[in-house]
Chain A
């Protein structure tokens, strides 16, 4: 009658050995090497030169482009993620009802998420916002005879990237939809009896009960938004332009490493990125106790 997972060190390690080998070979060893390289100048061909904190000091005091990429990336993350989650929540609430059409709508809204990371979609986006693109022509037909040169101005170019990220709200929407279905209708019935209006219901029931899911989404989406590469790389043709307006962190790191062969500097950038992502996650976790409600604690 031993119905617990049975103890067996040998078998356990045998089964997870691919993970351990892979983790050491493709994560731990590269991380150690990366940390070492971040204190060196290394161009891939000659031996690494130890420069101590040189790369980090250069990054924060000498490299103007670095601050641009920080600004651009934070704008992208801080505008894109909340917008994407807001859209996801609104549409999820729209779809949270019994109707045969809901399945079809859900599919259609989710489709952009599935193809959104592809080169084809980046190419499409680039052309839709082009000078002669759909957006400008549609604006013309609506009587706005003023072309917007989306990709000639840093701010508007970045906003096309943010819009592309918001367009892919589908996966968060699916998670929210699953969460909404788990909220017992009794809560809303009780609130109706008490005379609550839809806004009160949303802020007093939906939002608190959904907050753990919102929190999870916020963390995962923030991390992945920080690492966005493909759209910026394709839409700016690898340049990050105009005027570094779409120079997302990953793209700048890639340029430093593989266009300029400053492997040491790029490694230092990667470690700062890790720190930023870590700190952001920590902040989210720390603030979570003020706004994330876990039912078990309350009940």
Chain B
């Protein structure tokens, strides 16, 4: 009985003794984690800082992050572009490719996902399996015939081979949206049906507003993939006035001369800006998308 009475008193005392130690652990934790995070980001910070250094200084002072002197001329010089095209042209091309691809991929994937999630029809399991398999299929298996087909119909050196396939749904996005639609109570569909909505009405008026987060996630990833895509532009585009940013940067690299470092770094930074900006603005959707469907 005495022991029982003592124990509640003993516990707070113990906690009080441990408290300063616990705080020290917390500081250690933040020190280690923060240092590791900085280490991870070091290459990006280095790239950013190097873009403000004089080209001749970039590698002489590669150990230092502080540009001395601090210059902005790399950006003006880089923006003048390469191969007779201003960097603005490359950005415009990238935006066209990314914009149309993303719109196509998101809308078509939403329609397809609705079909898979809400309508039962003969052969559904088969087509769903096809979709899952196509997620794991190496692109290399279809790359060469696709190239031959697009060459035969005269689509080379245009954006069409890159954009058009996106209008037929993207397996990852379909999968993501199917998961999302399945969590929407089907009573909502029923209510809309009783109110006189057809299938498309239900899709457009009930489902679409509710899957906006999934569509946003898909749009963000479509943006990333198309913005960073290199192999398709390399394959299909051959005149510099059609080059997107990724291919233009490769051009900078190929023609690198001792004096060109600064401009190349500056334009690398410019190419990363939209990606990083979208990342910070829409983090929530990205984290959700990855955690629920394993999007890369």
Report chain B residues within 8 Å CB of A37: 144-145
Is A205 among interface residues, defined by CB-CB distance under 8 A? no
Contact A118 B144 (CB under 8 A): no
Contact A273 B120 (CB under 8 A): no
Is A31 among interface residues, defined by CB-CB distance under 8 A? yes
Contact B44 A124 (CB under 8 A): yes
What are the interface flags for B227-259 relative to A under an 8 Å C-beta threshold, 1 for contact and 0 otherwise?
Answer: 110110011000000000111011011100000
In the bound complex, CA of A34 to CA of B127 (Å)? 22
Report chain A residues within 8 Å CB of B199: 8, 11, 14-15
Contact of B230 among A27, A105, A233 (CB under 8 A): A233
In the bound complex, CA of A113 to CA of B228 (Å)? 12
- Secondary structure at chain B's binding surface: helix, strand, loop or mixed? helix
Contact A109 B37 (CB under 8 A): yes
Contact of B249 among A97, A106, A120 (CB under 8 A): A120
Is B275 among interface residues, defined by CB-CB distance under 8 A? yes
Contact B145 A11 (CB under 8 A): no
Contact A277 B121 (CB under 8 A): no
Give the interface centre of A9, A37, A224 by most chain B CB atoms within 10 Å.
A9
Contact B43 A124 (CB under 8 A): yes
* Smallest CB gap from B203: residue in A: A15
Interface positions of A from 222 to 239, Cβ below 8 Å from B? 223-224, 226-227, 229-230, 233-234, 237
- Secondary structure at chain A's binding surface: helix, strand, loop or mixed? helix
Report chain B residues within 8 Å CB of A174: 287, 290-291
Contact B47 A234 (CB under 8 A): no
Report chain A residues within 8 Å CB of B148: 33, 44, 263
Interface positions of A from 1 to 45, Cβ below 8 Å from B? 2-9, 11-16, 18-23, 25-27, 29-31, 33-34, 37, 44
Interface size on B, residues (CB 8 A): 98
Stretch at the interface among A54-62, A63-71, A132-140: A132-140
B59 to chain A, nearest CB (A): 4
Stretch at the interface among A188-196, A251-259, A291-299: A251-259
Contact B46 A134 (CB under 8 A): yes
Contact of B40 among A5, A14, A109 (CB under 8 A): A109
Is A183 among interface residues, defined by CB-CB distance under 8 A? no
Is A51 among interface residues, defined by CB-CB distance under 8 A? no
Interface size on A, residues (CB 8 A): 100
Contact B168 A234 (CB under 8 A): no
Interface positions of B from 15 to 71, Cβ below 8 Å from A? 26, 29-30, 32-34, 36-37, 40-41, 43-44, 46-47, 50, 58-60, 62-63
Contact A257 B287 (CB under 8 A): no
* Smallest CB gap from B26: residue in A: A99
Is B174 among interface residues, defined by CB-CB distance under 8 A? yes
Contact of A118 among B40, B142, B271 (CB under 8 A): B271
Report chain B residues within 8 Å CB of A23: 127, 130-131, 134, 168
**Known contacts A7-B120, A119-B271, A273-B141; A220 and B108 CB within 8 A of each other:** no
B25 to chain A, nearest CB (A): 11
Interface positions of A from 84 to 142, Cβ below 8 Å from B? 91, 94-95, 97, 99, 101, 105-115, 117-121, 123-128, 130, 132-134, 136-138, 140-141
List 13 extra interface pairs beyond A114-B276, A119-B249, A254-B231, CB under 8 A.
A5-B186, A19-B174, A26-B165, A99-B29, A110-B286, A118-B246, A118-B275, A126-B253, A132-B59, A132-B62, A138-B63, A174-B287, A274-B140
Closest 10 CB pairs of A and B: A22-B168, A15-B115, A12-B121, A120-B268, A30-B145, A33-B145, A178-B291, A137-B63, A132-B59, A30-B142
A interface vs B, CB < 8 Å? Answer: 2-9, 11-16, 18-23, 25-27, 29-31, 33-34, 37, 44, 91, 94-95, 97, 99, 101, 105-115, 117-121, 123-128, 130, 132-134, 136-138, 140-141, 167, 171, 174-175, 177-178, 216-217, 220, 223-224, 226-227, 229-230, 233-234, 237, 250, 253-254, 257-258, 263, 266-267, 269-271, 273-274, 277, 281
Q: 20 A-B Cβ contacts within 8 A?
A: A12-B119, A21-B168, A31-B141, A105-B33, A107-B280, A111-B41, A118-B246, A118-B271, A119-B228, A119-B246, A119-B271, A120-B268, A124-B46, A126-B253, A227-B139, A254-B231, A257-B144, A258-B147, A270-B141, A270-B143
B interface vs A, CB < 8 Å? Answer: 26, 29-30, 32-34, 36-37, 40-41, 43-44, 46-47, 50, 58-60, 62-63, 108, 111-112, 114-122, 124, 127, 130-131, 134, 136-149, 151, 165, 167-169, 174, 186-187, 190, 199, 203, 224-225, 227-228, 230-231, 234-235, 245-247, 249-250, 252-254, 261, 264-265, 268-269, 271-272, 275-276, 279-280, 283, 286-287, 290-292, 294-296
